[in-house]
């Protein structure tokens, strides 16, 4: 099996992105799984077109995109990508779309096709906090999640795809006391678990991990 795993370049004034740091530390081979690793720009539309080229080139059966969600306390598996760009800060090329559809002809939302509950459960079993997130925001990470799902649906690709967010790395919160962080080693381990579970679990497990607000 071949898995494509992506991390984003730094953005928003940060000099590292823990998603990219962790992705690049993952072995190229995890048991029988070939792992292709790539960097995506934090740029609306360009990020999706690079992801599309990577999928055409490598023909993976699983695609997991990883991004930084500063302020979150755990690894989060995103449930849904929505058809809107609403940028609170400019992307890395200065674009600030407000309330724009990602695909004017696409559906309002897509659900991740990764076994997100099984992934959360396995990451938690390894001693690393993880849970489901019901919003990937409206910035470039949601944009890429929506774009990935839209590509899979519109081209009828036999790919399981989705998105996980990771907290800040410890060095990022030195200047922001009180912000949560997670070691890059733990993030690497969580991503490896997500890869392994995505390649082995065909039907997700039914355990409650919703939120009341
Ligand atoms: N996080 C941002 C974009 C890139 C990244 O790593 C987000 O959550 O949208």
Span 111-159, pLDDT tens digits: 999 999 999 999 999 999 999 999 999 999 999 999 999 999 999 999 9
Distance 6 CA to ligand 1 centre (A): 12
* Alpha helical stretches, state H, 75-212: 116-125, 140-154, 184-200
H helices present in the chain, as ranges: 18-25, 46-58, 116-125, 140-154, 184-200
Q: Is 42 in the pocket of ligand 1 (CB under 6 A)?
A: yes
% of residues, the chain, pLDDT over 70: 100
User: What average pLDDT does the structure give for the chain?
Assistant: 98
Answer for the pair 63, 3: CB distance below 8 angstroms, yes or no.
Answer: yes
Quick one: tokens of 182?
């997670």
pLDDT band at 15 (very low <50, low <70, confident <90, very high): very high
Indicate if the pLDDT at residue 164 is higher than 90.
Answer: yes
The tokens describing 30, both together, are: 């995890």
| pLDDT (0 to 100) of residue 176 | 85
Of all atoms in ligand 1, which is nearest to the CA of residue 141? 9
Atom of ligand 1 nearest to the CA of 143: 9
Q: Looking at residue 49, what is its pLDDT?
A: 98
31 has pLDDT over 90: yes
CA–centroid distance, residue 63 to ligand 1 (Å) = 17
**Residues 49 and 105 sit within 8 Å (Cβ to Cβ):** no
State pTM to two decimals.
Answer: 0.98
The answer to whether the CB of 43 is under 6 A from ligand 1 is no
Ligand 1 center–CA 174 separation, angstroms: 20
List the end-to-end C-alpha distance of the chain, in Å, as a whole number: 38
> Which atom of ligand 1 lies at the shortest distance from residue 7's CA?
6
CB of 140 sitting under 6 A from ligand 1: yes
**CA trace torsion 155, 160, 165, 170 (10° rounding):** -120
Query: Over the stretch 47-60, which tens digit does the pLDDT of each residue have?
Result: 999 999 999 999 99
Ligand 1 centroid to 208 CA: how many Å? 26
Pocket lining: 115 vs ligand 1, CB cutoff 6 Å: no
Mean pLDDT of 56-70: 98
2-200 classified as CATH 3.30.565.10: no
Ligand 1 pocket test, pick from 67, 92, 97 with the greatest ligand atom count within 8 Å of Cβ, gives 67
pLDDT digits (tens, 9 = 90+) for 94-114: 999 999 999 999 999 999 999
Q: Active-site positions?
A: 78, 141, 165
Nearest CA to ligand 1 atom 9: 141
Task: Identify the pLDDT of residue 90.
Answer: 98
Nearest C-alpha to atom 7 of ligand 1 is from which residue? 141
């Amino acid at each position: 099996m071949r898995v494509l795993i992506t991390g984003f370049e730094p953005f928003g004034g940060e000099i590292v992105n823990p998603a990219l740091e962790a992705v690049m530390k993952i072995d190229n081979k995890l048991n029988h799984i070939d792992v292709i690793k790539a960097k995506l720009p934090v740029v609306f539309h360009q990020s999706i077109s690079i992801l599309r080229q990577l999928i055409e080139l490598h023909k993976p059966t699983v695609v997991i995109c990883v991004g930084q969600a500063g302020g979150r306390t755990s690894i989060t598996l995103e449930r849904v990508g929505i058809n809107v760009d609403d940028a609170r800060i400019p992307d890395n090329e200065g674009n600030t779309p407000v309330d724009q559809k990602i695909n004017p002809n696409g559906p309002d939302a897509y659900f991740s096709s990764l076994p997100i509950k099984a992934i959360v459960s396995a990451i938690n079993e390894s001693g690393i906090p993880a849970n489901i997130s019901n919003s990937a925001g409206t910035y470039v990470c949601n944009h890429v999640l929506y774009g990935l799902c839209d590509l899979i649906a519109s081209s009828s690709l036999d790919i399981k795809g989705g998105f996980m967010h990771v907290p800040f790395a410890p060095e990022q919160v030195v200047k922001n006391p009180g912000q949560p962080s997670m070691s890059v080693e733990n993030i690497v381990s969580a991503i490896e678990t997500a890869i392994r579970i995505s390649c082995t679990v065909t039907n997700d497990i039914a355990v409650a991990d919703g939120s009341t607000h």
